[in-house]
Structure 1
Amino acid sequence: MRYLKFLGVLIGVLIPAMALAHGPTRQKVTLAIDVAASPAEVWEVIGNFQDMSWHPAVHSSTGDGGNEVDATRVLTLGEEGGPTISEILYKYSDEKMSYSYRITDVLVEVLPVTNYSSHLTVKPLDDGGSQIEWRGAFYRGYPNNDPPPELNDEAAIAAVTGVYQAGLDALAARFGSSN
């Protein structure tokens, strides 16, 4: 009987504690923009995994493997010697004008995320223009409970949204907006 009472107390304490002890949840960001250029024109600029010079935050990109699965690239941000992000390509379709990649190495001070994966695609619009969609899924930069503000979910979402918006805005300026 004492054992059952002890077990009841233990369960009464552990279950509520376990409910409070959860880690971060996967966050998602999807942004899209319509541009006046044809999908082929847009894909010509953004379809090479090794070349991200179209993004204003990227100073340079180097890599190996072209557009083959498991190709890698290292993005240098801002200026020569700036912070870097290492990425690997895990899906590529020239026909579907899309590719998917993961970050393999980045300091959370540079981009406050972990387990980041992303997908970039170009789709035709009925009016002859294109829609560029960039979406990603990730966890915040601090994997434990009670993250500091610069590494919490909101900071991660804001950072990824900022990266995507800057890239899409640059493409809209290059190709013209589609209305």
Structure 2
Amino acid sequence: MKKIIYALVLPLVVVSGLVFANDEVKDEPLKKTTSKPLTATEKEAALKRWEATPDGIKYKEWKASAEGRKVFDASEKVRADIKDYSDMDAVITSLSLPPNSSLGFGLMVKINNEDYILSFGTEKTFVNFLTFNGEFKQLYNLKINDRIIIRSHSVSHAPKYSYPIISGDYVKYDGKVIYERAPRKGGC
């Protein structure tokens, strides 16, 4: 009988010791590290260090190549519309992104005779008891050659892709808004 009592009391003592030890650690003041913004010279130095890495060298080579120049030229054609957040007329050319893409959900579109990736990112789904709603639900109904109006806050590029990447923030089809990115919380 004593062995059973010891077997029950011993784990209780060990667990309570761990709880008290963990509590003491929590009471210690946390040291927060606040990073101040980099100065222009620090940013420039960091960029120079990155450009010397193998990835930086590859990027510079791609940027100077014919394919890289083509992507940058296409980016410049929509830069004014992106800056002003104005409407851009687009025609859907493909309902999927290039193979091995890691941009989430997106479409291929043509704007002013240039091809672009229209990326929406990963989908946040909302599950209800009776329905399954995704934020891209209405975008799935689009077809090739549909004319849409898009607005975006950014255009980017990556050596992995042969096209500029437009972030899909607003899509209008047939006079109706079918997608609008929710504004970020706690920020601009």
If you compute each CA radius of gyration, which structure gives the higher value, 1 or 2? Answer: 2
Higher normalized contact order (CA 8 Å, seq sep 6+, divided by chain length): 1
Question: Normalising by the residue count of structure 1, what TM-score does the alignment of the two structures yield?
Answer: 0.21
Normalized per residue, which structure has more helix?
A: 2
Tell me which protein shows more strand as a share of its residues: 1
